[in-house]
Amino acid sequence: MSHFVIQGGKRLSGTYTPSGNKNAVLPMLAAATLTDEPVVLRNVPLIKDVHTMLQILEYLGADVELRGHTVTIRAGKIRRRKLPADLCHRVRSSILFAGPLCARYSRAILSPPGGDGIGRRPLDTHFSGLRALGIDVRGDQVYRFECKKLKGADIVLDEASVTATENILMAAVIAAGRTTIYNAACEPHVQDLCLMLNKMGARIRGIGTNYLTVDGVTSMGGVSHRVCADHIEIASFIAASAVTGGDLTVSGVDAGTLTAIERGFHKLGVRWQIDRQTLHLPPAQKLRVENDHGSAVPKIEDGVWPHFPSDLMSVATVVATQAKGTVLFFEKMFESRMYFVDHLINMGARIVQCDPHRVMVMGPSRLRATRLPSPDIRAGMTMVVAALCARGQSVIGNADIIDRGYEAVEVKLRRLGADITRVADG
């Protein structure tokens, strides 16, 4: 384990290139088991969750070759159908092996997946969707997925779950007949997975909408695919630069993935321009809350795409502490995500937690340095952003949690001028 030592007050300026999308690459790694042919993924983020998924693939019998940010997977010799419990407990994405393993090998056995403690994250939508395709799901402490033959079905998801949509898709692509998925998730990472599956021979239509149609094929082929840029990481670095008054240029962006994010940041006075695939955040912006009509207090609330992402609610809250005005944050998706605000209050932020889902932020506040934890991936990055604009030296514990979602974050921040050091716990 390790921690970050951060001396706040340094402007973050310069050019930054984002990593590949964490939430896109994880299901892509599971999808590699759908074919005997090589699957080559480029722009792979070197984060802990990726390494855990690669360990699972190797345990199952796949040949994995990682060179730089490119991974080649040959899953033609899968020997096992049961995933190791310790690796399942490390990542939420371990559940994503259920669909493709059943599709190819008729069986998968998994322990309950791990992941961040941001609230209740049931698997019922996964189970009901897979059952509709003909997969028998049993077990409590260990989940057993078995099927004789997959058959397309009309599926209405109880919730627009990203991972459930991905799991069902990876089974449906080689199910006999047509599958329709209503209320499907359509986040950028889901779209990228669909594009990759279609390159492998799948027939998915409706990409980017909440209504997907999948015509099953008999087999899937190999693929070479570049993972899309991580819009959550991009927004996190925008936040860090904005609260420190920096001048930031981000290369390799997809303007379409930032549209929903832009609306929320605009309410806090953060503005940027995009020219083709390059984003520029001007320096020394005057952060000011943009009131709703009639001078009403504005609200930033999360939701399924294209609403503001839940993964950015905590980072946006820090930006609000540095903006003049009052804004209400309404986290509707996870009941424990906003508990991190206690740490911002201890730093001097003026925040009222109305209930587990809503917090009122009144800014600007001059944050003071302190010792902070990393409760989960996104809250951990939030603590880093808060420390970067605080007075004095902060210590951010559990830095390894942040490593699950951000590649070499301290290296990238130092290149932009941050005073941040990783120190091994002794």
Calpha distance 146→124 (Å, rounded): 16
**Cβ contacts of residue 183 below 8 Å, gap of 6+?**
156, 157, 158, 159, 160, 210
- Name the catalytic one among 49, 63, 86, 116: 116
Angle at 214 between CA 183 and CA 192, to 5 degrees: 75
Instruction: Return the number of other C-beta atoms located less than 10 Å from residue 43's C-beta.
Output: 21
425 is catalytic: no
The phi-psi region of residue 6 (left if phi > 0; otherwise alpha if psi is between -120 and 50; otherwise beta) is beta
Helix H, strand E, coil C: the string for the chain is CEEEEEECCCCCCEEECCCECHHHHHHHHHHHHHCCCCEEEECCCCCHHHHHHHHHHHHHCCEEEEECCEEEEECCCCCCCECCHHHHCCCHHHHHHHHHHHHHHCEEEECCCCCCCCCCCCCHHHHHHHHHCCCEEECCCCEEEECCCCECCEEECCCCCHHHHHHHHHHHCCCECEEEEECCCCCHHHHHHHHHHHHCCCCEECCCCCEEEEECCCCCCCEEEECCECHHHHHHHHHHHHHCCCCEEEECCCHHHHHHHHHHHHCCCCCCEEECCEEEECCCCCCECCCEHHHECCEEEECCCCCECHHHHHHHHHHHHCCEEEEEEECCCCCCHHHHHHHHHHCCCEEEEEECCEEEEEECCCCECCEECCCCHHHHHHHHHHHHCCECEEEECCHHHHCCCCCCHHHHHHHCCCEEEEEECC
Torsion angle defined by CA atoms of residues 240, 244, 246 and 252, in that order, rounded to the nearest 10 degrees: 0
**Cβ contacts of residue 68 below 8 Å, gap of 6+?**
none
Which residues are part of the catalytic machinery?
116
